[in-house]
């Protein structure tokens, strides 16, 4: 985060791919410093560019994330059904466009097959263990999900339990979840 960033915290997003389904779950807390500003924010969204079903979760500035989601939708309309290509094109723009470079957000996106983390550093990452997590409590959710992924639990249950564990540990994460599933 840049030095000018005002100290907003309060997002945990986790993506789980298991059993032919992909689930993205996000909490609802937005904090500024030590103050919870909102507990019911919706940071997981379903997009339908060109009739293709995409789910995206974001961490960071909401306005910045919405700007990125609009750009992602435009990339998906230009490359229908090619989520990875659209993500790579978005990441390239994010690194080179002076306006986009200032955006403070990260994304987890899926089309039900691919699962990607897209960052402003130009990264498009596909997780090795079918688990991705971002945000203030991302490391806690990632560790919990990695521990649960090889159990008999389905993708949604893994996501919900991982988010619950993150909310118990991270003061910038709460239990008000938005969960979207594809597959």
How far is Cα 25 from Cα 15, in angstroms, rounded to an integer? Answer: 7
- Entry field: residues in the chain: 183
DSSP helix/strand/coil, 149: coil
The residue behind tokens 């940071």 is: 43
Helix and strand totals (H; E) in the chain: 5, 12
At residue 144, φ and ψ (nearest 5 deg) are: -65, -45
Q: Is 157 a catalytic residue?
A: no
**Structure-block tokens of residue 37:** 């500003």
Alpha-carbon distance 133 to 108, whole Å? 8
Please tell me which residue in 11, 12, 110, 181 is annotated as part of the active site: 11
Helix (H) or strand (E) holding 45: strand 44-47
The owner of tokens 């306006």 is 99
Residues identified as active-site: 11
């Amino acid at each position: 985060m840049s030095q000018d960033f005002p100290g907003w915290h309060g997002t945990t997003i986790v993506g789980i791919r298991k059993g032919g389904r992909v689930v993205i779950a996000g909490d609802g807390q937005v904090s500024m410093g030590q103050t919870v500003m909102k507990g019911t924010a919706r940071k997981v969204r379903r997009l339908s560019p060109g009739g293709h079903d995409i789910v995206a979760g974001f961490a960071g500035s909401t306005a910045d994330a919405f700007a990125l989601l609009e750009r992602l939708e435009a990339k998906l309309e230009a490359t229908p059904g090619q989520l990875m290509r659209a993500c790579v094109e978005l990441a390239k723009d994010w690194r080179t466009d002076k306006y986009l470079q200032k955006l403070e957000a990260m994304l987890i996106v899926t089309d039900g097959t691919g699962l990607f983390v897209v960052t402003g550093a130009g990264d498009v990452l596909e997780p090795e263990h079918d688990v991705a997590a971002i945000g203030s409590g991302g490391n806690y959710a990632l560790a919990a999900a990695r521990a649960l992924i090889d159990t008999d639990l389905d993708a949604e249950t893994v996501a919900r339990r991982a988010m619950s564990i993150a909310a118990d540990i991270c003061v910038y994460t709460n239990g008000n979840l938005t969960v979207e599933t594809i597959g």
